[in-house]
Structure 1
Amino acid sequence: MVDAKMLNKMSSAPGFIAALDQSGGSTPGALRLYGVSESDYQGDEEMFRLVHAMRVRIMSAPAFTGDKVLGAILFERTMDGDVDGEPVPSYLWEKRGVVPFLKVDKGLNAEENGVQTMKSMPDLDTLLIRGREKGIFGTKMRSVIGHADKAGIAAVVEQQFQVARQIIGQGLMPIIEPEVSIKSPTKEQAEAILRDEIAQQLDKLPAGETVMLKLTIPTVADFYAPLVAHKSVIRVVALSGGYSTVDACEKLSHNHGMIASFSRALAENLRVTMSDADFNASLAATIDQIYAASVNKS
Structure 2
Amino acid sequence: MPDTAPDATHNTTHNGDASTHTSPTQALPPLLAGKKALVVGVANGDSIATGCARAFRLCGADVALTYQNDKARPHVEPIAQEIGAEMLLPLDVTQPGQMDAVFEALQTRWGRLDLLVHSIAFAPKADLQSGLLQSSAEGFAMAMDISCHSFLRLARRAAPMMTEGGTLFAMSYLGANKVVPNYNLMGPVKAALEASCRYLAYELGPQGIRVHAISPGPIATRAASGLKEFDVLLAHAASEAPLHQPIDTMDVGLTCAHLASPLARHLTGSTVYVDGGLNIMA
Common fold, TM-score beyond 0.5?
Answer: no
TM-score normalised over the length of structure 2:
0.38
TM-score normalised over the length of structure 1:
0.37
